[in-house]
């Protein structure tokens, strides 16, 4: 399977956010301004022309602080809209990802008091399928089975789960805890299937090791732009510790580059054929 750099791109559409989560990598990057609507449209057209981008991951900050722009960009190509879920969520062509980092009490401890209830109410108003995205760390990983059970019952279609990539280091999963977490994810994947829990054995083994170094699929395949429209190096998570990387898409795309058949198959399923065959 051939896959070119930039078929998948990501943009930090804003440097602003209405939350202040304990594990946030984005705030550590210290962005202070952002492109205007027309400038972003031009920048995305450039991605399409230069790299053949066919899937745009819209991140922030909180992208729905620029709701109209998100909708405008979705007129150009399919998007994955990644939101903290605290603002009304529009329907898009592509996928909606809502960040939920634990059962109610733990989620609120990480993301701010009362945020869980607001998300539930915004999701109740959403009429398209959605994916829950979760970042596991030493504080929240044990609640993952309850989180999955609750959100499958609430109607979530799938789960996009990463492990926290430091800094900050105090909540990173290491040693026995990391093993325990990966074993739990393996069990959940076998129970619900990989269309719900987006993992393969290759990816879980890779996440256990953490270190992707130069083979990182994200670094090699995804073009990421900061709020000013500049290319981020080496990846969206610029400044994080590659030796302890837990980013789901990094392990997914590394499996693709390495030719793992199950991981290629999963990537094709969740990216809706964007990667080609
Ligand atoms: S919602 Fe996202 S960007 Fe905002 S503080 Fe939380 S992790 Fe950071
Ligand atoms: S932080 Fe993770 S995704 Fe980014 S380049 Fe390093 S290993 Fe890859």
Each residue of 118-167: pLDDT tens digit? 999 999 999 999 999 999 999 999 999 999 999 999 999 999 999 999 99
Kindly tell me if the per-residue pLDDT of 43 is higher than 80: yes
- Rounded Cα–Cα distance for residues 179 and 44 (Å): 40
Question: Domain residues for 204?
Answer: 8-270
Kindly tell me if the per-residue pLDDT of 276 is higher than 90: no
Measured in Å, residue 266 CA sits from the centre of ligand 1 at 27
Whether residue 275 lies inside any domain: the answer is no
Which of 245, 248, 252, 256 gets mutated to test ligand 2 (max ligand atoms within 8 A of its CB)?
Answer: 245
Residue 100: nearest ligand to its CA? 1
Confidence of residue 275 (pLDDT cuts 50, 70, 90): low
Query: What percentage of the chain carries pLDDT values higher than 90?
Result: 90
What integer is the mean pLDDT of 88-92? 97
What is the DSSP secondary structure assignment for residue 205, as one 8-state letter? Answer: H
**Average pLDDT for the chain:** 95
The domain spanning residue 198 has which CATH number? Answer: 3.20.20.70
Pocket of ligand 1 (CB under 6 A): 17, 19-21, 24, 26-27, 60-62, 84
Whether residue 148 lies inside any domain: the answer is yes
What per-residue confidence (pLDDT) applies to 3? 72
At a CB cut-off of 8 Å and minimum separation 6, what does 275 contact?
Answer: 1, 3, 7, 8, 256, 267, 268
Name the residue with higher pLDDT: 213 or 161: 161
The ligand 2 atom nearest the CA atom of 241: 1
Whether residue 114 lies inside any domain: the answer is yes
Whether residue 45 lies inside any domain: the answer is yes
Kindly tell me if the per-residue pLDDT of 1 is higher than 60: no
What residue's CA is closest to ligand 1, atom 1?
A: 84
For 190, other C-beta atoms within 10 Å of its C-beta total 12
Whether residue 188 lies inside any domain: the answer is yes
Name the domain count of the chain. 1
Whether residue 1 lies inside any domain: the answer is no
Whether residue 163 lies inside any domain: the answer is yes
Whether residue 223 lies inside any domain: the answer is yes
Kindly tell me if the per-residue pLDDT of 71 is higher than 70: yes
Q: Does 218 contact ligand 2 (Cβ within 6 A)?
A: yes
What residue's CA is closest to ligand 1, atom 2?
A: 61
């Amino acid at each position: 399977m051939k896959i070119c750099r930039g078929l998948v791109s990501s943009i930090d559409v804003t440097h602003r956010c209405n939350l202040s989560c304990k594990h946030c990598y984005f705030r550590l990057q210290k962005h202070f301004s952002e492109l205007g609507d027309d400038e972003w449209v031009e920048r995305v057209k450039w991605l399409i022309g230069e790299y053949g981008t066919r899937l745009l991951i819209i991140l922030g900050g909180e992208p729905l602080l620029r709701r109209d722009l998100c909708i405008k960009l979705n007129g150009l190509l399919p998007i994955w809209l990644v939101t903290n879920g605290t603002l009304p969520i529009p329907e898009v062509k592509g996928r909606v990802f809502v960040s939920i980092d634990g059962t109610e009490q733990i989620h609120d401890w990480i993301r701010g008091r009362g945020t869980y209830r607001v998300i539930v109410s915004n999701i109740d108003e959403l009429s398209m399928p959605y994916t829950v995205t979760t970042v596991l760390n030493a504080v929240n990983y044990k609640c993952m089975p309850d989180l999955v059970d609750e959100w499958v019952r609430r109607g979530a279609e799938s789960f996009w789960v990463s492990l926290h990539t430091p800094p900050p280091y105090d909540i990173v999963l290491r040693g026995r805890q990391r093993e325990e977490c990966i074993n739990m994810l393996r069990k959940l994947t076998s129970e619900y299937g990989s269309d719900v829990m987006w993992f393969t054995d290759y990816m879980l083994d890779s996440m256990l090791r953490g270190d992707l170094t130069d083979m990182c699929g994200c670094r090699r395949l995804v073009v990421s732009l900061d709020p000013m429209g500049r290319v981020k190096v080496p990846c969206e998570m610029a400044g994080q510790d590659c030796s302890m990387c837990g980013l789901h898409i990094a392990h997914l795309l590394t499996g693709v580059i390495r030719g793992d058949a199950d991981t290629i198959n999963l990537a094709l399923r969740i990216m809706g054929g964007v990667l080609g065959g």
